[in-house]
Chains A and B, each alone.
Chain A
Amino acid sequence: MAVANLLGNLKKSAIAALWLAFLTLPVMVIRVDTVEKTVTWRWMHLAYMLVGSFVLAVAWHFLMDRRDRGAANRDSGGGETQSALSLWLENPSVMRPLMAFGLLVAVAFPWVFSMYQTNILISALIYVVLGLGLNITVGLAGLLDLGYVAFYAVGAYAYALLNHHFQLGFWTVLPLGAILGAFFGILLGFPVLRLRGDYLAIVTLGFGQIVRLVLENWSAFSNGPAGISNISRPGLFGVTYGVDQATTYIYYIMLALVVLTIFVTARLKDSRIGRAWLALREDEIACQAMGIDNTRAKLMAFALGATLASLMGVVFAAKTTYINPASFTFMESAMILAIVVLGGMGSVLGVILGAFLLILLPEYMRAFSEYRMLIFGATMILVMVFRPQGLIRAKRKVYKINTEAA
């Protein structure tokens, strides 16, 4: 059975490879030089094409078979199949030391590595928080928000403008930005309360564009596409730092914010509110019929997600000291959404992993930067086909029950 299957796959792959090689023959093999008036036949390219497409086809069939077998297992009542990775990570005796080690590395990082590396890691950490924030709105509450970056812009511009006009410092604006973010979250939340699915996505997409266009065109307010420069770096009790020290300082601020966000979102996930969000995502009508105030739950999800994005905006402005509307395009929203979807909707650990993968890999693979969007797109397609639940599947808490209770 397995052998027959394998042979079948090999045959199918061979036919696919031959066909593709034939189709691409004129493009890949024949080269006409119009100046020299010569025709070169590059037969090696045909071989590349054959081998390459054959290998890809075999891999594709193998993965597809594996996926179908997994689905069959699930259907026949085998329960949820767990990936080895997530099983391993769930074991507390693995998880605890791993977390401690991770934190230790994180704390030591700026002393061991260069400023350049630290800066990259700050970006990654910012995206971790953005991902976790969007995870509340999209992953837990199921409200597809395609304009998330607008809240990020709100925070960034709040700091830039308040700093520029009133010389307010980082630590003053940080809470202000959070409040402003929550306000904008609720502002967006109200008109979209009745919408869901596609409609919600379109409205939030529009909201994101509106915020960017306002920033771009209302020059008197935001200085337009030229942006705002000379934003102060964070200080501490009147002490101001040089570039290097400031980077380290921001790094530690970011690290603290990441730890705080993880703590908050992980606890929220298994709380009364978190359950209400999940119920909202799963079945809105049943959720309301069971006594949950949909309006409140939705607004809370929007507000919390927006608060985190806005906080990150403040940090981002302080880190780069220069912002302009180009940093807040739809591409950013899509990126953050990709982090959430790739990592695993609703899974805190998954989103963290997703953020690191999607932000750090392009940084360290600059050699392939021309193919960045190509690889990005292909990765997303592959993940959606073979692992639609994301890298790490969100798991619900297993409750310990006090059976003696009357």
Chain B
Amino acid sequence: MEQTQNAVLSVRNMSMNFGGLRALSDVDVEVRSGEIVALIGPNGAGKTTFFNCITGIYTPSEGQVLAYPTNGRKMRADGARSDGVRINGMRTNLVCELGMARTFQNIRLFPSMTALENVMIGRHCRTRAGILGAVLRGPKARREEQEVVDRSYQLLKKVGLEKVANEYSRNLPYGAQRRLEIARALATEPFLLLLDEPAAGMNPQETLELKEMVIRIREEFQVSVLLIEHDMKMVMSLSDRIYVMEYGRVISTGTPAEVSADPQVIRAYLGEESDA
């Protein structure tokens, strides 16, 4: 597969086997700089498995996952693009450090930490204070800590949670927890934001607000977004391109209009007509 000039993530021929079960086969996905790309498909199509494969939670059985960070790290000195970082099999925390941050389908916040602290966790991989710094609290450690608090608070503000900064995250309403997860992911300074069903369980109004927030975030943080979503209205109006998955394969790809006209997709979603 040819590599597009400004890709930030390029997944080639990726397959994932769990024993004899082939959860993903020959998946090709590409996300370009500044794009919002959606991954849709029926339940069990392998969307979350795909996320887990590219974030290092699983190691893909076959294929390549290449990232091209645009956030300054791993760029060649002459400013030209590096050849990409091979991230299949990379440890999850290093993938995050590289600049790919995700949220989870079933919210995975740290319940007995405050909202602010949840975001501060995201700053962990961008800060350095060690045990000595923590105990002695020298000027450098103090400055770093203050910076972490300030930046985290700003991020909370961006997702509209500044009023509940010191609330335990378990006490936040559902929609707020979803937004907090996004803020936490943004705190890691990603170039690619991976959202796993961000609108799940939200009402139409909240979904609309979420959509606007994702667009705002893309502009403001210069991130590309890859999201899994079931809400078709949101997917169609938000994404630049869509990949449709079924039984672990990508069955269709293109702009929302192209995809929604694809007979394969219609078949996957509505079922086959009994007689032609």
A→B interface (CB under 8 Å) = 79-80, 263-264, 267-268, 271-276, 278-279, 282-283, 285-294, 300, 304, 394, 396-399, 401-403, 405-406
Does A268 contact B131, Cβ atoms closer than 8 Å? yes
Residues of chain B within 8 A (CB-CB) of A293 are 91, 93
Smallest CB-CB separation from A389: which chain B residue? B112
Contact A399–B171 (Cβ < 8 Å) = no
- B124 pairs with A291, CB closer than 8 A: yes
Residue contact A289 to B112, C-beta cutoff 8 Å: no
By a CB distance below 8 angstroms, the chain A residues around B93 are: 288-294
- Stretch touching chain A among B2-10, B68-76, B113-121, B224-232: B113-121
Taking the closest CB of chain B, its distance from the CB of A324, in whole angstroms, is: 34
- A71 CB, min distance to chain B CBs, angstroms: 14
Partner among A271, A278, A300 whose Cβ is within 8 Å of the Cβ of B110: A278
Find out whether the CB atom of A264 lies under 8 angstroms from the CB atom of B135: yes
The answer to the question of B255 belonging to the interface, with a C-beta cut-off of 8 Å to chain A, is no
Return the chain B residue nearest A404 by Cβ: B150
Asked if A282 and B113 make an inter-chain contact with CB atoms under 8 angstroms apart, the answer reads: yes
A401 to B135, CA, bound (A): 22
Considering the chains assembled together, what is the distance between the CA atoms of A127 and B153 in angstroms? 39
Query: Using a Cβ cutoff of 8 Å, how many contacts connect chains A and B?
Result: 131
Interface string of B175-201 (1 = CB under 8 A from A): 000000000110010000000000000
* A-B complex: 7 closest residue pairs judged by Cβ atoms: A291-B125, A271-B134, A291-B96, A286-B108, A282-B110, A288-B92, A405-B150
Partner of B131, one of A278, A282, A304: A304
- Say whether A287 contacts B130, CB under 8 Å: no
Are A396 and B113 in contact (CB-based, < 8 A)? yes
B223 interfacial contact with A, CB 8 Å: no
A–B pairs, 11, beta carbons within 8 Å: A80-B168, A271-B145, A273-B129, A273-B134, A275-B117, A275-B121, A288-B91, A291-B93, A291-B126, A396-B112, A405-B150
Contact at B96–A290, with CB atoms within 8 Å? yes
Size range of the interface on B? Answer: 35 or more
B149: chain A residues at CB < 8 Å are 399, 401-402
Q: Chain B: residues with CB nearer than 8 A to chain A?
A: 55, 57, 91-93, 96-97, 101-102, 104, 108-114, 116-117, 120-122, 124-127, 129-131, 133-135, 137, 144-146, 148-150, 153-154, 165-166, 168, 171, 184-185, 188
CA distance A397 to B116 in the complex (A): 10
Known contacts: A272-B124, A294-B93. The answer to whether A285 contacts B57 by CB under 8 A is yes
> What is the chain A residue whose CB lies nearest that of B116?
A399
B57 engages A272 (CB within 8 Å): no
Task: Say yes or no: B110 contacts A283, CB within 8 Å.
Answer: yes
Assembly CA distance A402 to B148 (angstroms): 12
Residues of A within 8 A of B108 (CB): 283, 285-286, 289
Closest-CB distance, A340 to chain B (whole angstroms): 16
B121 touches which one: A263, A292, A300 (CB < 8 A)?
A292
List the B side residues contacting A275 at CB < 8 Å: 113, 117, 120-121, 124
Q: State how many angstroms separate the Cβ of A401 from the closest Cβ of chain B.
A: 5
Chain B contacts of A263 at CB under 8 A? Answer: 135
Complex CA–CA separation, A399 to B133 (angstroms) = 19
B165 close to A267 (CB less than 8 A): no
Contact B117 A396 (CB under 8 A): yes
Q: Is the CB of A271 within 8 A of B117?
A: no
- Shortest C-beta distance, A395 to chain B (Å), equals 10
Query: Residue of B at shortest CB range from A405?
Result: B150
A406 contacts across to B, CB distance below 8 A = 154
Which B residues are CB-close (under 8 A) to A264? Answer: 135
Q: A275-B124, A279-B121 are in contact. Are A405 and B96 (CB under 8 A)?
A: no
Distance, CA A403 to CA B150, complexed state (A): 8
In the complex, how many angstroms separate the beta carbon of A86 from the nearest chain B beta carbon?
15
Contacts of A285 in B (CB 8 A): 57, 92, 108
Taking a contact as CB atoms under 8 Å apart, the answer to whether B92 and A289 are in contact is: yes
Tell me whether A290 and B131 are in contact in the complex, defined as CB-CB below 8 angstroms, given that A278-B110, A402-B150 are known contacts. no
**Which of A289, A304, A399 lies in contact with B57, CB distance below 8 A?**
A289
Q: In the assembled complex, which residues on chain A have CB atoms less than 8 Å from the CB atom of B188?
A: 290-291
Q: Are A286 and B165 touching (Cβ within 8 A)?
A: no
